[in-house]
Amino acid sequence: MQVKTYPEFSSRYPLLLTSFMHRPVRLYPEDIGVVYRNEAGEYFRFTWREWYKRTCKLAHALKELGVKPGKPGEPGDRIGAMALNSHRHLELIYAGTCIGAVSHPINVVLSREHMVHTINHAEDKIIFVDETILPLLDLIYDQIKSTVKAFVYMSDRPGRPQTRVEPLYLYEDLIAGQPEDFEWPLLDEDTYAALYYTTGTTGIPKGVMFTHRQLYLQSIHLLALGGMAVANTMIEMIETIMTSRADTVDKVITDGGRWQELLTALVKDIPRVNVPLVNIPLFHIHGWGSPWYSVASASKIVFPGRFSPQAFCEIVQTEHVTSAALVPTMLAMLIEYEDLKKYDLSSLRTIGTGGAALPLGLKAKAEKVFPFLRAGSGYGMTETAGPAILATLKRYMLDWPKEKQDEVRVKTGLAPLGIEVQVVGEDGKPVPHDNETLGEIVLRGHWILEQYYKDPEKTQTAWRDGWFHTGDMAKVDQEGYIIIADRITDVIRSGAEMVPTVLLENLTATCDQVLEATFVGVPDEKWGERPMALVKPVPGASVTEDDIYRFLQVEGVDKGKITKWMLPDYIAFCDAIPKTSVGKYDKIAIRRNLSEFLSRAKKMR
């Protein structure tokens, strides 16, 4: 007798982002799930039930606008978003992907030329645009109007704006009157869900598509890793709290060992719900994947609008934010914010950094400001949909002194479950774990890109011998931790030696008087290139170029961290160091204006 089976509902049940959307609604429908603070300081709060109903309404509206789903190998209609972080943007991400379309967050801080390229290359059918970004859309409208079929205007205020963009729909009008439930399709897990573009710092931006399966697996792997890290963090927090309450601990012991009372008091300080502040713009790889794992974990998601130190502090205090993701430059801006101490930021427990290496000096400065904070770093790129390597502690390191643990937390880190990583030399073989030999980071795993969108030549160049070649140089220490050294294109080639600029930047940032520092190569007749340091001092610091040079000599050369020939030939103080749209040091812009920086630099030797 032949028995009917249902593999599509059992052994082959698809891994869909729709599952993430349903989870918080089923578990905590009346909990506040999404908070948005606009630039006027107005707060908008939605329960998970309210957010879900709005998402269902938008899904109906998208279908009425003719949005078509895709299937494996054939992407559905692309839906572009020229938008900052808000509840509407989150609604759009889920409504679009869960009906089978492709979410394309458009990086609105790219050059206009690159922005137009990404829209036309993606062939966006609809673009959703924020009120604050509409003037930019007006500027590029003529170059994209033959591609985009409709536009949707998102605003906290009613009324139609003055614009020549057409056809233009109003978001709230579009969803008004739509049904509050939706029959979500059971898509194939290999249906494309998201399209991201690189920032184009080395050429025209390249497109990368990711499927539901890839983003689902990335999220649950990161959540599992986060769960393991939570136990370690709780131990550290209890130790920190006990240290800060030494008198209370002594009293409890004296009064007869009332440990239950003490532990109850300590546990009250540990947050029950993660409250992530999503500072990283959703147009940067969907905020490093935050819509996926934050919704799946039923966290209370807080969107602050455009980042500023004041807005950050206000919303952390108001919403009792527990975690945040920042690029190191954002962290530096917070530390130098003059009104920082006016706010209660004690709820903030962790800050994850990415986009650039986290200097040990910047981490130390941050943890002096935030007593319970633990800052860590990681590594990812557009081609990995965000995190691919994370600086996590091994369990035997929990007994190490904090100073030694911090040295681990600022390394690039280890590959999480689901990703394989190697650092290989020019011969394609893994470099020795000696903390010295440089090689290229290569990756493969569940959420590594399969191919560049409509670009087989770049795909073939990047994928070789079964590994994706990142173009980033690194070394590996004796514990197996990867330490990024540089982009291959940024390394300074001095004579027969390569000078890794990230190493110099991290060392310089440990100086108490330095807030930010970067290094670039300056043409040299004898050596080809020599290092120049661009330094932004801590506000009010009394420091000279000679002080910086002496610091690098004593803390670097004398302690064996760098060699003498790595010392900079030039040091230039700057009020602001050029940065890219994702907060990295913009070395292309620096090289373009090299003569200007050299004119203000002091020659050190």
Question: Is 171 inside any structural domain?
Answer: yes
- What pLDDT score does 560 carry? 74
- What pLDDT score does 209 carry? 97
Are the beta carbons of 278 and 85 closer than 8 angstroms? yes
Is the domain of 458 the same as that of 514?
A: no
List, in order, residues 6 or more apart from 180 with CB less than 8 Å away.
53, 56, 57
Question: Is 163 inside any structural domain?
Answer: yes
pLDDT digits (tens, 9 = 90+) for 394-417: 989 988 998 898 889 888 899 999
- What pLDDT score does 263 carry? 45
Q: How many residues does the chain have?
A: 605
Is the domain of 256 the same as that of 395?
A: yes
- Residue 257 scores a pLDDT above 90: no
**How far is it, in rounded angstroms, from Cα 30 to Cα 21?**
15
Sign of the Cα pseudo-torsion (268, 270, 271, 275, in order): positive
562 or 601, which is more confident? 601
Question: Is 144 inside any structural domain?
Answer: yes
List, in order, residues 6 or more apart from 477 with CB less than 8 Å away.
411, 433, 434, 435, 483
**Cα end-to-end distance, the chain, whole Å:** 88
Q: For 44-50, which contacts have Cβ atoms below 8 Å and span 24 or more sequence positions?
A: 44/87, 44/156, 46/87, 48/24, 48/298, 49/25
Is the domain of 57 the same as that of 193?
A: yes
Residue 365 belongs to domain with CATH number: 3.40.50.12780
Is the domain of 429 the same as that of 523?
A: no
- What pLDDT score does 370 carry? 73
Question: Is 210 inside any structural domain?
Answer: no
pLDDT band at 249 (very low <50, low <70, confident <90, very high): very low
- What pLDDT score does 314 carry? 93
- What pLDDT score does 267 carry? 45
Residue 256 token pair: 């007869």
384 or 228, which is more confident? 384
CB neighbour burial string for 417-434, b if at least 16 within 10 angstroms, e if fewer: ebbebbbbeeeeeebebe
Considering only CA atoms, which of 93, 62, 7 is closest in space to residue 286? Answer: 93
Determine how many CB atoms are found less than 10 A away from the CB of residue 525: 5
DSSP designation for 191: S
Q: Residue 302: what are its φ and ψ, rounded to 5°?
A: -115, 120
Q: Residue 35: what are its φ and ψ, rounded to 5°?
A: -125, 135
Q: How many domains does the chain have?
A: 3
- Sheet of strand 78-82, all strands in order from the earlier edge strand to the far edge: 168-170, 150-154, 124-130, 78-82, 102-105, 192-197, 207-211
Is the domain of 48 the same as that of 187?
A: yes
Residue 578 belongs to domain with CATH number: 3.30.300.30
Is the domain of 222 the same as that of 100?
A: no
List, in order, residues 6 or more apart from 128 with CB less than 8 Å away.
79, 80, 81, 82, 83, 88, 89, 92, 151, 152, 154, 171
Cis peptide bond upstream of 69, omega within 30? no
pLDDT band at 496 (very low <50, low <70, confident <90, very high): low
Are the beta carbons of 92 and 119 closer than 8 angstroms? no
Mean pLDDT score of the chain: 87
- Residue 244 scores a pLDDT above 90: no
Considering only CA atoms, which of 296, 299, 321 is closest in space to residue 311? Answer: 321
Question: Is 196 inside any structural domain?
Answer: yes
Is the domain of 301 the same as that of 397?
A: yes
Mean pLDDT, residues 570-592: 84
Determine how many CB atoms are found less than 10 A away from the CB of residue 437: 14
Question: Is 268 inside any structural domain?
Answer: yes
Q: Which residue is listed with tokens 């792997």?
A: 221
Residue 176 token pair: 């008004």
- What pLDDT score does 164 carry? 95
Question: Is 2 inside any structural domain?
Answer: no
- Residue 462 scores a pLDDT above 80: yes
Residue 470 token pair: 């990142």
Alpha helix (H) residue ranges in 68-128: 87-98, 112-122
Is the domain of 383 the same as that of 447?
A: yes
- Percent of the chain at pLDDT > 70 equals 88
Is the domain of 225 the same as that of 298?
A: yes
Q: Which of 311-315, 485-489, 570-574 has the least mean pLDDT?
A: 485-489
3-state DSSP call for residue 326? strand
- Residue 52 scores a pLDDT above 90: yes
Residue 302 token pair: 């807080």
**How far is it, in rounded angstroms, from Cα 432 to Cα 421?**
14
**How far is it, in rounded angstroms, from Cα 513 to Cα 544?**
10
- Residue 231 scores a pLDDT above 50: no
Mean pLDDT, residues 446-456: 96
- Residue 266 scores a pLDDT above 50: no
- What pLDDT score does 234 carry? 44
**How far is it, in rounded angstroms, from Cα 550 to Cα 544?**
10
- Residue 212 scores a pLDDT above 60: yes
pLDDT digits (tens, 9 = 90+) for 292-346: 999 999 999 999 878 889 999 999 999 999 998 887 778 888 888 889 889 998 8
**Region for 343 from its dihedrals, namely left if φ exceeds 0, alpha if ψ lies in -120 to 50, beta otherwise:** beta
The whole domain housing 135 covers: 7-205
Q: Which of 17-21, 267-271, 531-535 has the least mean pLDDT?
A: 267-271
pLDDT band at 202 (very low <50, low <70, confident <90, very high): low
Identity at 279, one-letter amino acid code: N
Is the domain of 32 the same as that of 98?
A: yes
**How far is it, in rounded angstroms, from Cα 18 to Cα 604?**
59
Last residue of a domain, one of 459, 487, 515: 487
Is the domain of 597 the same as that of 570?
A: yes
Is the domain of 348 the same as that of 468?
A: yes
Last residue of a domain, one of 205, 239, 269: 205
Last residue of a domain, one of 452, 470, 487: 487
Determine how many CB atoms are found less than 10 A away from the CB of residue 208: 24
What secondary structure does DSSP assign to 342-356, as a single string?
GS--TT--EEEE-SS
Question: Is 1 inside any structural domain?
Answer: no
